[in-house]
């Protein structure tokens, strides 16, 4: 004979905190970057690497450049000359970094 035990449990949520689904959290995180553009300095702070490392290991690597360069429909503006600066579409750059972490850091030890 199968028995059931019904239990009611109340867990207080501290004031100032809310519970949301993972889907809602991801949407909020993505929306916080929409319409935001990073500079090279922003990207350096975001991934804790200097621009020389970023250029060598991400921006100037041919396997990545064809995907990320605005000239190919990507989300990174490569400056043409002096006086111009790098520009990164924040939402897409953040997703690229997340999705390609293993490729960016492979053989970097």
- ∠ CA 52-34-77, nearest 5°, is 35
DSSP string, 52-88: HHHIIIIIT-HHHHHHHBGGGT-SEEPP-STT---EE
The set of residues, in sequence order, having a beta carbon less than 8 Å from that of 79 and lying 6+ positions away, is 85, 86
Q: Which tens digit of pLDDT belongs to each residue from 42-93? A: 999 999 999 999 999 999 999 999 999 999 999 999 998 878 999 999 999 9
Query: Where does the pLDDT of residue 107 fall: very low under 50, low under 70, confident under 90, or very high at 90 and above?
Result: low
Identify the pLDDT of residue 43.
Answer: 97
The answer to whether residues 106 and 59 touch, using CB atoms and an 8 Å cutoff, is no
Query: Where does the pLDDT of residue 108 fall: very low under 50, low under 70, confident under 90, or very high at 90 and above?
Result: low
């Amino acid at each position: 004979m199968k028995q059931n035990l019904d239990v009611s449990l109340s867990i207080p949520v501290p004031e100032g905190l809310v519970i949301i689904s993972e889907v809602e959290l991801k949407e909020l995180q993505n929306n916080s970057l929409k319409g935001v553009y990073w500079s090279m300095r922003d990207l350096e702070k975001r991934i804790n690497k200097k621009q020389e490392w970023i250029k060598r290991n991400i921006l100037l690597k041919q396997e990545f450049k064809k995907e990320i360069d605005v000239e190919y429909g990507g989300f990174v503006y490569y400056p043409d000359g002096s006086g111009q600066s790098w520009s990164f579409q924040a939402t897409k750059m953040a997703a690229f970094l997340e999705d390609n972490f293993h490729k960016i850091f492979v053989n970097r030890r």
